[in-house]
Amino acid sequence: MPETLLEIRDLAKSFPARGKGNAAVQAVADVRLTLKRGETLGLVGESGCGKSSLSRLILSLMEPDSGTVVIDGEDFLGASVQRKRLMRRRIQIVFQDALSSLNPRMTVGMNIAEPMRLQGLGSARERDGEARRLLDLVGLRASDAERYPHEFSGGQCQRIAIARALVLKPDIIVFDEAVSALDVSIRAQILRLILDLQTEFGLSYIFISHDLGVVRRICDRIAVMYLGRIVEIGPAQPVCEAPRHPYTEALLRAIPIADPRRMRVEELGLIQGDGFGSPKPEACAFEPRCPHRFAPCSVKRPTLIPVGDHHEAACFLNDRSQRKGDS
Amino acid sequence: MTPDAEIALAVSDLRTRFGGDRSGATVVDGVSFSLKRGRTTALVGESGSGKSATALSLLRLIDAPGRIIGGEIRLGGENLLSLDETEMEAVRGAKIGMIFQDPLTSLNPALTIGKQIAEVLLAHKDVSRAEAEARAVELLTHVGVANAALRVNDYPHHFSGGMRQRVLIAMAISCSPQIIIADEPTTALDVTIQAKILRLLHDLQQEMRASLLLITHDLGVVAAMADEVLVMYAGRIVERADVDTLFHAPQHPYTKALLACVTDIGGDRSVPLEPILGTAPDLKQQQVGCRFAPRCPAVQDFCRREDPCLMALSDRQEVACLVVQRERNLMAPADA
Ligand SMILES: Nc1ncnc2c1ncn2[C@@H]1O[C@H](COP(=O)(O)OP(=O)(O)OP(=O)(O)O)[C@@H](O)[C@H]1O
Ligand SMILES: Nc1ncnc2c1ncn2[C@@H]1O[C@H](COP(=O)(O)OP(=O)(O)OP(=O)(O)O)[C@@H](O)[C@H]1O
Ligand SMILES: [Mg+2]
Ligand SMILES: [Mg+2]
């Protein structure tokens, strides 16, 4: 089995209440994950479930309430300022809206080389050379280094953002909805690029999306998040073909299949209610929306238990002892 | 479903230009299609192919210096392109309801939801303000907004993305239009909310027996919703077919390439992703030959010289590809 590169230990983060009468939002709750070298882990869940919050915690762009992140056996969040700066080189992020994550007043070349400058690496010439090399690698022209971000299309900006994420030769890249806004054909180009780069450099990825279809296509393992918690995690195929949590099941049925013989609008699955607000602390967070809820769901919170090979789910339906009590 | 459903709107040879006469580009270039009563027609194609420009042209909402430079849009007995602005104003909203691409910017942030819906009714129907506001509550309830009687007093920023989309749908159907145009109605939404909005649009359309023109680049959405599909590339319709034929017997190389980019949950992981290489042509330049030729895996010499037009392969399918047309021994019309 390949070695563990990244370990996320019990990360939690809540945000104070916004507006009157609202409770604090538990954006990330006790999340535990590992990422192996060369692996792609997908993170899916509906809008607001805490995917971006989790990625910001992993990158140490935000302080957690508790928990930590370990890179190659070394505590990242707890590292000294200097050490942390060095460790930052190893983990990079690409956001959904690439254009707004690029500095409009800097040339594309300077944008790509900016992380090097911040890390005090290389001369201006060397940085420019590196930017040009990377532009070529992501399928743009070296001469594009002299142009400005607004002169590029959405898909091209995404390539520029990927080039920037590569400039420090990281081991891990987090893609936060990095292809969601792209047109299908451009999306296929970017996914192909991401996969090719992985093969070439042995990179590890965390790939965040609300679209299980895209995630299925490129991930080895998938983690499904609901209201801040991982509710199911396992190899891509069993999670997509034999899900063991009703939320995963519902999410899968909500995705239209590009084949009119297999799915028409009448068969699109609808999940009742919405995933906002604060769940009862002593219940399953999905209980109010769950079509299979039974006695224990409203009084106890299920934890992740093994349901298959490297496959875990947090649902009492998988728990014999709970089901016996029910019938 | 009868094959010869009643035609609700017929577009022929529509041409729309953006920018000045010399510097501009004809981004809708000879588009013809019809919308049928009680049916959903999907308009697909990559970003920039002219889908929104086509939709906006149907409502004559192209801002100067852009303009419609030719064609005909028949609704009932009228050609919309020969109406004056007051007559056209009566068509918008009342006969053709539109859900725009960007739900955030198409609502007025300073006006309550109820007032915005009421405005549409006041503009087109002979109703009092009180009646219009009462109807707004009914419409919101109809599109699935809970506690509508209270929520009408909220402002757009109090609503989530999915809820705002419901408000826009309520506005679009408020005058029971025969035609509903929805431009990427779910692209900004997450899959679970998308499923609800698609179901809502479908149910409303069935109930009103309206024609729905659904613009999207998501082929999953097309497969779920459409009866008929129009594939657009660089300002032209390159293929038209019923939904089953389009997915199972596509003919245009661009349609085939588009289908090869699909990353849905039903997809076969062992088939490699095949992105379409290259980019769409710059329409500011004069186009010679087929517009897809530079990216086409099936390109022949004549494709770079001759401009293909849409020809029927059967009563379920039309394609604008010279290679396909020659294989089937279809002759170009005498005037081409
Ligand atoms: N800075 C913040 N202050 C207060 N609440 C926040 C903040 N950032 C996020 N939240 C809340 O935390 C929850 C999780 O948000 P997050 O952005 O992580 O979700 P997400 O899964 O990335 O959603 P999306 O798919 O829409 O990007 C949401 O309820 C959100 O409103
Ligand atoms: N107001 C405008 N002025 C000038 N050019 C425009 C304007 N609006 C659109 N265009 C251009 O017209 C072409 C067609 O644009 P359109 O918005 O119709 O594309 P689309 O198919 O709807 O794309 P998308 O999927 O990105 O919404 C594009 O090349 C675009 O850049
Ligand atoms: Mg997010
Ligand atoms: Mg558009």
B21: in domain: yes
CB-nearest to B267 from A187, A213, A274 is: A213
- Count how many pairs of residues, chain A against chain B, have C-beta atoms within 8 Å: 146
Cα–Cα dist B108/B99, whole Å: 14
ipTM of this predicted structure: 0.86
Shortest distance between the Cα of A188 and any Cα of chain B, in A, equals: 5
Q: What is the mean pLDDT of chain A?
A: 91
* Statement: residue A115 has pLDDT above 50: yes
Residues of B with Cβ-Cβ distance to A253 under 8 angstroms: 195
Helix-, strand-, coil-residue percentages of chain A, each rounded to 5: 40, 20, 40
B197: in domain: yes
* Statement: residue A1 has pLDDT above 50: no
Cα–Cα dist A110/A128, whole Å: 7
Q: What is the pLDDT of residue A111?
A: 96
Q: What is the pLDDT of residue B190?
A: 82
Residues of B with Cβ-Cβ distance to A257 under 8 angstroms: 220, 223-224, 264-266
Residue pair A311/A234 in contact (Cβ under 8 Å)? The answer is yes
Mean pLDDT per 10-residue segment, chain B (336 residues): 75 93 89 96 92 95 91 95 94 91 77 93 91 93 87 88 87 92 86 89 93 93 97 97 97 94 73 80 90 95 95 96 92 53
Contact status of A189 with chain B (Cβ, < 8 Å): yes
B55: in domain: yes
Residues of B with Cβ-Cβ distance to A262 under 8 angstroms: 223, 266
Cα–Cα dist A294/A280, whole Å: 16
Interface touch B220/A252, C-beta < 8 Å: no
Cα–Cα dist B199/B302, whole Å: 45
Residue pair A280/A298 in contact (Cβ under 8 Å)? The answer is yes
Tell which of A184, A189, A198, A240 to mutate to test the B interface (max B CBs under 10 Å). Answer: A184
Residue range A127-146, pLDDT digits in tens:
999 999 999 988 889 999 99
B 234-253: CB under 8 A from A: 243-244, 247-248
Q: What is the pLDDT of residue A222?
A: 97
According to DSSP, the β-strands at B311-314 and B317-319 are: antiparallel
B52: in domain: yes
User: DSSP letters of A116-136?
Assistant: HHHTT-S-HHHHHHHHHHHHH
* Residue B182 dihedral angles phi and psi, to the nearest 5°: -120, 115
Q: What is the pLDDT of residue B164?
A: 87
Could you give the number of structural domains in chain B? 1
According to DSSP, the β-strands at B236-242 and A305-308 are: unpaired
Better-predicted residue by pLDDT, B245 or A21:
B245
Contact status of A66 with chain B (Cβ, < 8 Å): no
Alpha carbon nearest to ligand 1 atom 24, residue: A47
Whichever domain contains B192, its CATH number is 3.40.50.300
B153: in domain: no
Residue range A245-301, pLDDT digits in tens:
999 999 999 999 989 999 899 989 888 876 666 677 889 999 999 999 999 999 999
B 204-223: CB under 8 A from A: 217-223
Q: Domains of chain A, with CATH numbers? A: 4-247 (3.40.50.300)
For ligand 2, whether the C-beta of B24 sits within 6 Å is no
Q: What is the pLDDT of residue A277?
A: 63
Residue range A30-77, pLDDT digits in tens:
999 999 999 999 999 988 889 999 999 999 999 999 999 999 999 999
Contact status of A212 with chain B (Cβ, < 8 Å): yes
Nearest atom in ligand 1 to the alpha carbon of residue A45 is: 21
SS (H, E, C) chain B: CCCCCCEEEEEEEEEEEECCCCCCEEEEEEEEEEEECCCEEEEECCCCCCHHHHHHHHCCCCCCCCEEEEEEEEECCEEHHHCCHHHHHHHECCCEEEECCCCCCCCCCCCCHHHHHHHHHHHHCCCCHHHHHHHHHHHHHHCCCCCHHHHCCCCHHHCCHHHHHHHHHHHHHCCCCCEEEEECCCCCCCHHHHHHHHHHHHHHHHHHCCEEEEECCCHHHHHHHCCEEEEEECCEEEEEEEHHHHHHCCCCHHHHHHHHCCCCCCCCCCCCCCCCCCCCCCCCCCCCCCCCHHHCCCCCHHHHCCCCCCEEEECCEEECCHHHHHHCCCCCCCCC
For ligand 2, whether the C-beta of B27 sits within 6 Å is yes
B289: in domain: yes
The pick from A13, A25, A56, A174 for probing ligand 1's pocket by mutation, whose C-beta has the most ligand atoms within 8 angstroms, reads A25
Contact status of A46 with chain B (Cβ, < 8 Å): yes
Q: In the structure encoding, which two tokens stand for residue B169, read together?
A: 């749908």
B204: in domain: yes
Residues of A with Cβ-Cβ distance to B202 under 8 angstroms: 265-266
For ligand 1, whether the C-beta of A22 sits within 6 Å is no
For ligand 1, whether the C-beta of A210 sits within 6 Å is yes
What is the share, in percent, of chain A residues with pLDDT greater than 70? 95
B 123-182: CB under 8 A from A: 160-162
B122: in domain: no
How far is the CA of A124 from the CAs of A77, A101, A103, B255, in angstroms?
A: 31, 22, 18, 46
Q: In the structure encoding, which two tokens stand for residue A244, read together?
A: 């063991």
Rounded to two decimals, the pTM is 0.88
By residue range, what is the domain housing residue B321? 4-95+177-265+272-327
Q: What is the pLDDT of residue B163?
A: 84
Q: In the structure encoding, which two tokens stand for residue A105, read together?
A: 């007043």
Interface touch A212/B259, C-beta < 8 Å: no
Give the containing element (helix H, strand E) for A306.
Answer: strand A305-308
Tell which of B101, B264, B270, B292 to mutate to test the A interface (max A CBs under 10 Å). Answer: B264
